[in-house]
Chain A
Amino acid sequence: MKTNYYLTKDGVLRRKENTVYFINKEEKRALPISKIYAIYAYGNLSFTSGVASYLSQKGVPIHFFNNYGFYEGSLYPRETLISGDVTIHQAEHHLDADKRLYLARRFIEGATQNILKNLKYYCSSNSSIEKYIGRIEKELPKIEGYTDIPQLMSVEGHIRDTYYSALDEIFPEEFRIGERVKRPPNNKTNTLISFGNSLMYSTVLTEIYNTQLNPTISYLHEPFVRRFSLSLDVAEIFKPIIVDRVIFKLVNKKMLDDSHFVGELGDMLLSDTGRKLFLQNYHDRLSTTIKHKGLGREVSYQRLIRLELYKLVKHVLGAQEYKPLVMWW
């Protein structure tokens, strides 16, 4: 089993004795090369060209995040899984307005259904959530009605706003979201959401790397230059399943205190300990396994992302229509 490594300290990555070493003043750690799935770098990381080429050779991407936990970029290894056939069909589904709409709708539908699952879970203990569920369910049929992408995006925005208002009913006062504010996030929960979402995008990107899909051709989001927008599309489905649930756990189990944040209201960041706590819980969540109905065996949440991408490949190749993953558990 390969695993993700998260580097929160400053240091150097070096190739030595055919494996990768993380070195800084206090420590020297060997990361077994065949165990590295992806590296998430949060500190100031220097690395030698030796390690860069070695990791590329082994197909290990490194994702870089800045001080704020925002995604900065990736060292994306040379694509070894390429298929002209898939790329052409993927582009065809983008260029054909109807085909693109179909996929864009599925991504929003999947995200919404998973959001509803989260809310319904809390509904049993807090009935004030019910009205929000009703409101979101009313938005759902609109997805089929709208025929242009910006309108779809605004429905998605509405749903998320309602979702966050519902969460405010459950969360203790200091964790109320109020309004979603990014760059920089202004309060504790906004900080957690931003941090988690950035992490989610790169996790999806890592999985895209392991399929034949091209990460720049997207459906719901516009394929901007310099962005892997397909990972934004697919992340929509997984944010409620993975990121939001990590946040619920941290908040509801009262695992967070003031030492996990730095800065003041209006400009808030996770501190080093906060970052580590979040990463640990995120990592545990990704490695949690559930019994897959179709496959009949245990799969991890991380694997579910890959399976979702395979479904997308099948869809663009015309083998099987894409239906988004909705939590069945």
Chain B
Amino acid sequence: MYVIAVYDVNVDRVNKVRIFLKQYLNWVQNSVFEGELTKVELKTIEGSVKDLIDQDEDSVRIYILRSDKFLQTIELGTSKVEISEII
């Protein structure tokens, strides 16, 4: 599955969440990650992020698509990163 993860987390914890998500997903913008995941990886992320954040204050949303084929993006302005396997 292809996921887009966005988060709104207090500055005290935001770095932890960012560093964690970096291991699984591609960084696209501040507080936005996206990428291909397996079911198991999604469960791992859910579990770990829950431990990292403060349930009362922070919010993390994960949008799930069956495949990136269903994802259409419109980008205005300059792209911050390019996601490709060939560098």
A binding-site residues for B, Cβ under 8 Å = 1, 3-9, 17-19, 22, 29-30, 32-35, 276, 279-280, 283
Contacts and interface: CB of A to CB of B under 8 A. Distances in A.
Given A1-B38, A35-B36, A30 B22 contact: yes
B24 A17 contact: no
B81 A280 contact: no
Q: Is the interface of A mostly helix, strand, loop or mixed?
A: mixed
Interface of B: 19, 22-27, 35-36, 38, 41, 81, 85-87
B87 A7 contact: yes
Given A17-B19, A18-B19, A29-B81, A34 B24 contact: yes
B85 A32 contact: no
15 contacts: A5-B85, A6-B85, A6-B87, A19-B19, A19-B22, A19-B23, A30-B26, A32-B23, A32-B25, A32-B26, A32-B35, A34-B23, A35-B24, A35-B35, A283-B86
Contact of A280 (B36, B38, B86): B86
Contacts of B23: 18-19, 32-34
B46 to A, nearest CB: 15
A277 B22 CA distance: 28
Given A34-B41, A35-B35, A35-B36, A5 B87 contact: yes
A34 B22 CA distance: 9
Contacts of A19: 19, 22-23
